[in-house]
């Protein structure tokens, strides 16, 4: 008697041409940010280059001594390096003029499907200054 072979279903993955090329191609954090509301809020900028027409969601987290906060934002990719403003409320403490550590994330979506994700920090930090 010959043993029966088990057949495993084969799934084919269809990927659109735009999803294959969709990605974050450039990412950085602006070197300066503005203090607002007596240091309770900071206005920073994330610079992103991603596939035109795709959606981008991002965060920017600042830490300075006992102060920290994270801002979130979203936009539509232009295909070129684009500045996206981010409002960062101080979740703890108060920000002051000077240097803060800055880290960001970016998620790139094609028709609702995540196609790329990045995390990075600005090595020299971000200089906070009054408006």
Domains of the chain: 22-122 (2.60.40.10)
Q: 128 has which bridge partners?
A: 33, 98
Which stretch of 17-21, 59-63, 71-75, 116-120 has the lowest confidence by average pLDDT? 17-21
**What pTM, to 2 d.p., does this model score?**
0.81
3-state secondary structure the chain: CCCCCCCCCCCCCCCCHHHHHCCEEEEEECCEEEEEHHHCEEEEEEEEEECCCCEEEEEEEEEECCEEEEEEEEEECCCCCEEEEEEEECCECCCCCEEEEEEEEEEEEECCEEEEEEEEECCCCEEEEEC
pLDDT digits (tens, 9 = 90+) for 25-52: 888 999 999 999 999 999 999 999 998 9
Strand pairing report for 55-64 and 67-76: antiparallel
pLDDT exceeds 50 at position 95: yes
Q: Hunting for tokens 């550590």 — which residue is that?
A: 101
pLDDT of residue 21: 58
């Amino acid at each position: 008697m010959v043993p029966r072979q088990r057949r495993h279903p084969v799934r084919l993955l269809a990927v659109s041409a735009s999803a294959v090329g969709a990605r974050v191609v450039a990412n950085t954090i602006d070197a300066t940010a503005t203090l607002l509301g007596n240091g309770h809020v900071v206005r920073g900028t994330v610079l992103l280059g991603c596939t035109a027409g795709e959606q981008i969601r991002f965060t920017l987290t600042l830490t300075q001594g006992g102060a920290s906060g994270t801002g979130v934002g979203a936009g539509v990719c232009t295909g070129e390096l684009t500045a996206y403003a981010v409002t960062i409320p101080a979740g703890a403490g108060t920000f002051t003029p000077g240097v803060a550590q800055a880290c960001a994330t970016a998620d790139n979506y094609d028709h609702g499907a995540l196609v790329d994700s990045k995390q990075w920090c600005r090595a020299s930090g971000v200089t906070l200054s009054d408006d």
